[in-house]
Structures are given as C-alpha cells and as structure tokens.
Structure 1
Amino acid sequence: MEIERIQTGVRLEKRLVKVLKALAEHRDISLGDLIEGIVLHAFEGRSPFSQDSLAIIAQLRGIYGLELAAADSHRFKEDEGADDGSH
C-alpha cells in the first residue's frame, strides 16, 4: 500500500523515546513504523503488543528507568529550564 509520510515536530518524554527506539531496533523497524503501528492498533481498540513484546518492553523500561504509566500522561509538567535539544 502506498502512503505519504510527513516530518513532524513531536516532543516526547526522553525515557519513553529511549524505550521506543530500543523496541524499534529490536524489531528491526524504524521508530516511525513502530509509532504508526501502535497508533493504528489503538485506533481500532486493539493492543499493539504480544505477550513476548510486553516482556521486552518491561525489560527496556527497567533499563531506561521509565516508571511512567498511562494515568500519568495527563499530569505531565515540563521542566521550563530543560534543554529541548533545539539550540
């Protein structure tokens, strides 16, 4: 299926990106492909991850210190003094 992709300026929590990048590398796909798959599954109300993938994600979360949960996503406050990498 042919699609058109665009570049985005999405900002995400640093440890979350590390876990996502490591998972994409583990699956040998791009970060964009991983995110597209996650979103498309979510749009259909389906889990994007098998039990094996969830076990890998749990390991990666431990490695990168990602303790955030879905319930935390509505309570994020960004550190105003943090460098956003755009400088």
Structure 2
Amino acid sequence: MDNHNQAQWLHQIQQLEFVTAELNLYLDTHPEDQQALAMYNKAHHELMQALRNYEQIYGPLLSFGFSPVMHSYWKWVDSPWPWEIQY
C-alpha cells in the first residue's frame, strides 16, 4: 500500500471535515445565508465522495454503523488502523 497517497487522502478528508464543521456552526446562526448553504452542500458532497473513495481503496475509517460492509468479511479489523498510519 502507498502510505504517502493514503496520508494525502486522509489530509483531504480532514480538511473537508473541518470546512463542513465550520460551515455547520456558521449556519446555526445564519440559517438563511444562501452562499454559506451552497458552500456547505458542495463541501459535504466532496467529503462524502472522498470518504467513499478512501474506503474503497483502504477500508473503513469508522465503525459503529457508519461504513457499509463492501466485502464478504468485516474489513474494519484489517491493518493498519486509521490511527496507526504514519504521516
């Protein structure tokens, strides 16, 4: 497995998670801001796509019902775990 490429994917996911969380907080106080709503929807779409792409290549990032089983076995237990990846 290419750890450098995996780290790049994780970095992109972290950035998109940060953007969506910040926009979510902003929208809590500005719920009618159309530009922020569009930015949130775009970032959310990109985040979901990045998560799907990552999980297809490297396996699930989360357990507890957030990631569907894409194979005939429980891939969550495969190494390395997300927190074991060396950047």
TM over 0.5: same fold? no
Structure having greater relative contact order (Cα 8 Å, sep ≥ 6): 2
- Rg larger for: 2
Compute the TM-score of the two structures, normalised by the length of structure 2. 0.31
